[in-house]
Structure 1
Amino acid sequence: MTTYSRSFRSSPHRDARETWEAVVDLLTQGKSGAARTELLAVGGTAASVIADQAPKDAAIVVTCDGPRTRVYCLYDDNAIDGSDAKEDTLGYDPLKGDWSVSLPCQAEDLDWVNAALIKQSNRVTARDSKQAVGTEGGKSAVSAPLVINPKGFLGS
């Protein structure tokens, strides 16, 4: 599975709501439509997660029928400096086909965040920021070993 990463400047460069809107612009490629409407509908809850700095070390993870996208936020001096920011567009549609967004969240906020999200979207959920996407109980949900196809890799 291919994964791409982006890092957005948040507080104090932009507030949490503006940060979420910038992430939505990236994910929707600036296009209007149902996906954009759904992502903007959860903006208040997503902004709360961003304001709590959960996406600093744990990514907002977007899955779709294509590559996986990880979005991190930069805060404080890193947000002001901006040298670690990577907010450029993606070369693919990160919401292609059956997409979902997993927001990292502090464990003590997880219940209310998920309750708020479900009222607006069935594609956007929250997870404990200490738990990786695709894991349960700390074990990876992927059971198959990684197999490299040398012919495909070498272009033969």
Structure 2
Amino acid sequence: MEEIGTGTISLSGGLDGDHKGPKFPKRRITVMAIEDWRAALGDLNADDGGPVDLPWTTRRANLLVEGVRLPRARGGVLRVGPVTLEVTYPTQPCRRMDEAFGGLLKALHPEWRGGVTCAVLEGGEVTLGDAVDVLVSPPEIVPRLP
């Protein structure tokens, strides 16, 4: 994972340079809120009993946002700078999360903490510090484990 300050998001490919975006139209972009990341880490304990401090890039999301509650239902719409995204489903973090820290995968599951997966409705260039607005927030869906 590489942190960048500016990136181009397109309808057909998602975030420029991301290998998954072009392959999956309903999964072009993943977005995670820093508040959800911190909540997940707060459920974990380091070997010494202290807090766990992992960089947000461990989660492997395309975009990290702050100060906004992401829609927790399909059909939610958010704008990041000039880009408009539609929530298609909650992001399902992979087993690599537990490789990074035991229990992280489970800690990301509640309340869509792993973020949202989105289709791109309107592309453009996003830059660190761009405004993030929720345009549509349908009633929340609570995912349940089988």
TM-score range for the pair, normalised by the shorter chain length: under 0.3
TM-score scaled to structure 1, two decimals?
A: 0.27
TM-score scaled to structure 2, two decimals?
A: 0.28
- Structure scoring higher RCO (CA < 8 A, sep ≥ 6) equals 2
